[in-house]
A and B are shown apart, each in its own frame.
Chain A
Amino acid sequence: MSFKFHLDTHAGVQHLTLTGRLDSATFVNLEKTIHGLFNSAGDRVLIDLSALSYISSAGLRLMVVAAKRARQVGGQLILCGLSPTVRTVFEISGFLKIMATTETKAEAERALQT
């Protein structure tokens, strides 16, 4: 029941993969990484949520921070692989209207290449 994340770069796109429980205890581990994702116009980031089993408002806050940073610098952010329960939480929070999401990682990669 832990939380892990991994950040690497493929073809100029940063891939941030989240695994496990992103809650009010674990979000602090991710905060610095989220703040560092977008630094200049054209930065492209994919956040892969397919292995994220749980997210609470503490984790949702970080997604808003990432989306706002992307908008501020003129970057692109796509979230992919939301499980049905995680998607429900995003929908209730109104995030599906302010964040780009795709079902699969391949779709997100294609969208960020164009």
Chain B
Amino acid sequence: METLIAPASGKKLLLDYTMPSQVVMFGNLAVSVEDVIPDLPEIAFSTNLCLEELITNTIQYGLGNVPDHAIRICISRSADYLEIVVKDDAPPFDPFNVVPTPNIHADLEEREIGGLGVHLVRSLMDEVWATYDGTGNLITLKKTLAQ
């Protein structure tokens, strides 16, 4: 199967993982992410959080909670950054253009109960974008690594 991340010199593919469209599978995914970047526990936490937020959106809104779709996750690493790509087979959906930004400065009474997922992804990653390749959505996240 073709890799989701274009090969480049100095960039190494660490993980190519496929999970079913079920939220109960995030615990297993998290262990796999932690295993491939054991030297970066805080970035593993952020990566798992972003993957969960984006894939939960896909499962709930893109796939209507149908549990037998496959979602593929690839992670590669270079000296400068970690690159994370998520591929689904849902209809076109760009969470970074569609989901409204929550008001995180609102008082408790005015705070919305939800709506934080995409805000967390934008805040924890350095670059985020989504494209549709004709068969599904490709979401790419980049996290700069401290030198």
Contacts and interface: CB of A to CB of B under 8 A. Distances in A.
Interface of A: 1-2, 21, 23-25, 54, 56-58, 60-61, 64-65, 67-68, 71, 84-85, 89, 92-94, 97-99
A1 B24 CA distance: 11
Contact of B109 (A1, A25, A65, A71): A71
A92 B120 CA distance: 7
- Main SS class of interface, B: helix
Given A25-B26, A57-B53, 6 more contacts: A21-B26, A24-B52, A25-B27, A57-B120, A61-B116, A98-B107
Nearest to B24: A25
Which residue of A1, A25, A57 has the most chain B CB atoms within 10 A of its CB atom?
A57
A61 to B, nearest CB: 5
Contacts of A92: 104, 119-120, 123-124
Nearest to A98: B108
B30 to A, nearest CB: 7
Interface residues of B, number: 30
A71 to B, nearest CB: 6
Nearest to A86: B45
B41 to A, nearest CB: 8
Contacts of B42: 84-85
A1 B30 CA distance: 9
